[in-house]
Chain A
Amino acid sequence: MERRRFVFLSALGAAALATPGLHCTTPNAALDKTLSIPDMLSHLADEATIREAGVAYGSKMPGEYNVALLEKLLAGNAPNTGSDPSAGISSRLAANIKDGFMRGNTVVVKGWVLSVTEARQCALYTLIKKTN
């Protein structure tokens, strides 16, 4: 249900980072996590709901529905910050989300009124989970 928090994903991510052997197997793992977890939505909805939204976005925008493209769209022109490519991305995503709402760059997926950035995050999450 929506009320079951998706926060577990954040917890899972933190555990992975703290667990020897799982510690950021690649820099891209941390980046994917940052890119694919819509922060606000993860506090409001469960994993299945996020995936539903991701699939719905994929249906609306089939041309965008692949990992590489979504990563590129979400990461944009993020400056290379060295060993941790996710650094700075979170705040940029948050700014993009707010900007999307302000400019009306939103989309309705499974009833959710989301910024396009958030919807892309849902789609990326769905694809990443599917391949894992």
Chain B
Amino acid sequence: MHIDARELPNNSLIEGDICIIGAGAAGISIAIDWLNTGHKVILLEGGGFEVDETLQDLYRGKTTGQRYYPLKSARLHYFGGTTGHWGGYCATLDDIDFVKRDWVPLSGWPISRKDIDPYYPLAGKMVEIGPGEFEDTYWLEKDKSLLPLVFDTKVVWNKMWQFSPFTRFGDKYRDAIVNAKNVHLYTYANVTDIMANENASSITGVTVKNLQGKTHTVRAKYFVLACCAIQNARLLLASNKQAPNGLGNDHDIVGRHFMDHLEVNSANILLPAPLPLKFYLNDPFVTKARAELAITGEVQRQHGMLNGTVALSPLELVKNDPPMIDFFPDSATKTVQHWPYLEKMFKAGKLPASAGTPFKAYRCFTRMEQSPNPESRVTLDTEKDALGVPRANLHWKLTRLEKTSIRKLHILIGQQAGISGIGRLRMMDWLDDENDNNWPETLGGGWHHMGTTRMHDDPKQGVVDSNCKIHSINNLFAAGSSCFTTSGAANPTLTLIALTLRLSDHLKTLV
């Protein structure tokens, strides 16, 4: 069922069993999981069915610290959320991502990879990759033309990515949700305040507003914040009537530990003779899966480094590409139009196909884990948006560990290139000096926002518990990558959906 909250009488009261705040990858995944359950699900979406720059302005905020993308366009404020400009990259987190690592401050989830494993196949179905096949042997067996680099797999292994057919949740799941009897989707329903009881131990309702001046109230037994890592933190911090520091923020953790993957061109691998490395290349709209070069957990441990991977592209095809952070637009509409444009180019045969062609030089593109850093954080600005909610500021702060890890990653891959005799690796100038802690202007994130309501058993170290419940509040949960304790190296979408489906199962035991 779909209701446009602009059309409701002002001050309407909406009631349900669970209330999901945000209809992006996480929120829609829960809603789909609750179809036909007999429970009344309220799904609140601040936008409509199309991207709208006026509504995107609600996400505008300042960024300081390491250069970052415009907050206004990095997340999409409409039904389907940021899947609207998602690149379709799917990979699982690794075992080591969940464990406490002495060399990574604040690492260690209260759950293990095994706790999420049952949900990865379900998440895979949501993004249309099937159950997901993340063993390199599966793909090498399936396609004998794929040739892996002959590296020592005790050091460097092939971490697999599968590519979703750009599943846009807004398109894919709209009918299922709009036609559902028990799921009540409200568009143009921006949550501006979460109301708690006197001691802020229980949520009594949320206030919903829209730019048409309507205000409504939603009451439910359980509430799930599924607005993305920045907005989840912003909403908790801004909901400060009963808790002066914001809800769930008794220990000043909400908004801290913001993480993104460091994504940057980092090296070239040069070969004496052309070699086809199809197994490692991604031709959009064609490639179903590809490998990236990753370092084994044991070697990460030996070298005290973060998790990270290197993706390869033929140098001659990408050498003139500007870094993503230089051209990421402030306009969300443009980000949404980017993929249809590429698809049009592809269908016209204007996208260069790289797989299968032998090349003599490959560009290394790093995807590096960011270590949890309390100084890397989301805070509230004094300026308020059009609905009266303080805007989010983001201070993205990196540490020396990320840089030494990127350097070590390339040294290890370079050594394997030397052992195998395929060629040599040359790092870019900004990695040459091991004592240089500066970052290049070309460094960007993967616009993978994580960690602002991090999971930890200890309320002093995390915002949510192992079931994604806000520690101090008995009926408020967070869904999505804001709950990630550490980021790993994999793109977060598949894991955030898996983690959300795990939360969904937990909620079913409560309602």
Q: List chain A positions with a Cβ less than 8 A from chain B.
A: 2-3, 40-41, 43-45, 97-98, 100-102, 104, 106, 108, 110-115
Contacting A at CB under 8 A, from B399-432, are: 407, 410-411, 413-419, 421, 423-429, 431-432
Interchain CA distance A111-B429 in the complex, whole Å: 6
Residue from A2, A43, A97 within 8 A of B418 (CB atoms): A97
Q: List chain B positions with a Cβ less than 8 A from chain A.
A: 267, 270-272, 360-361, 407, 410-411, 413-419, 421, 423-429, 431-432, 434
Interchain CA distance A43-B418 in the complex, whole Å: 14
Question: Across the interface, do B419 and A101 meet the contact criterion of CB distance under 8 Å?
Answer: yes
19 A-B pairs in the complex with CB atoms less than 8 angstroms apart: A2-B426, A41-B424, A44-B423, A44-B424, A98-B418, A100-B418, A101-B415, A102-B419, A108-B407, A108-B411, A110-B426, A110-B432, A111-B426, A111-B431, A112-B414, A112-B424, A112-B427, A113-B415, A113-B418
Question: Across the interface, do A40 and B431 meet the contact criterion of CB distance under 8 Å?
Answer: no
Nearest chain B CB to A46 CB, angstrom units: 12
Residue from A43, A102, A113 within 8 A of B426 (CB atoms): A113
Given A98-B421, A101-B419, A111-B428, also A40-B414 (CB < 8 A): no
Interchain CA distance A41-B418 in the complex, whole Å: 11
* Chain B: CB-nearest residue to A100: B418
Interchain CA distance A113-B268 in the complex, whole Å: 11
Interchain CA distance A40-B432 in the complex, whole Å: 20
Taking CB atoms, residues of chain B closer than 8 Å to A41 are 424
Question: Across the interface, do A111 and B427 meet the contact criterion of CB distance under 8 Å?
Answer: yes
Of A101, A104, A114, chain B has the most CB atoms within 10 Å of the CB of: A101
Tell me how many residue pairs across A and B have CB atoms closer than 8 Å.
65
Question: Across the interface, do B411 and A113 meet the contact criterion of CB distance under 8 Å?
Answer: yes
Interchain CA distance A72-B65 in the complex, whole Å: 50
Interchain CA distance A97-B423 in the complex, whole Å: 12
Nearest chain B CB to A121 CB, angstrom units: 13
Taking CB atoms, residues of chain A closer than 8 Å to B410 are 113
Given A3-B361, A40-B272, A98-B418, also A112-B411 (CB < 8 A): no
Nearest chain B CB to A114 CB, angstrom units: 7
Interchain CA distance A40-B428 in the complex, whole Å: 19
Taking CB atoms, residues of chain A closer than 8 Å to B432 are 108, 110-111
Nearest chain A CB to B383 CB, angstrom units: 43
Taking CB atoms, residues of chain A closer than 8 Å to B424 are 40-41, 44, 112-114
Nearest chain A CB to B194 CB, angstrom units: 50
Interchain CA distance A112-B316 in the complex, whole Å: 19
Taking CB atoms, residues of chain A closer than 8 Å to B411 are 106, 108, 113
Nearest chain B CB to A71 CB, angstrom units: 23
Question: Across the interface, do B426 and A112 meet the contact criterion of CB distance under 8 Å?
Answer: yes
Taking CB atoms, residues of chain A closer than 8 Å to B361 are 3
Taking CB atoms, residues of chain A closer than 8 Å to B415 are 101-102, 104, 106, 113
Given A2-B270, A111-B267, A113-B414, also A98-B419 (CB < 8 A): yes
Please name 13 further chain A to chain B contacts, defined as beta carbons within 8 Å, in addition to the given A108-B432, A110-B432, A111-B427, sorted by A numbering.
Answer: A2-B270, A43-B272, A44-B270, A45-B270, A98-B418, A102-B415, A104-B415, A106-B415, A108-B411, A111-B432, A112-B427, A113-B411, A115-B418
Taking CB atoms, residues of chain A closer than 8 Å to B421 are 40, 98
Taking CB atoms, residues of chain A closer than 8 Å to B272 are 40, 43-44
Of A41, A43, A111, chain B has the most CB atoms within 10 Å of the CB of: A111
Taking CB atoms, residues of chain B closer than 8 Å to A2 are 270, 426
Taking CB atoms, residues of chain B closer than 8 Å to A108 are 407, 411, 427, 432, 434
Of B407, B424, B429, B432, chain A has the most CB atoms within 10 Å of the CB of: B424
Taking CB atoms, residues of chain A closer than 8 Å to B426 are 2, 110-113
Question: Across the interface, do A113 and B427 meet the contact criterion of CB distance under 8 Å?
Answer: yes
* Chain A: CB-nearest residue to B411: A113
Taking CB atoms, residues of chain B closer than 8 Å to A97 are 418
Interchain CA distance A111-B270 in the complex, whole Å: 12
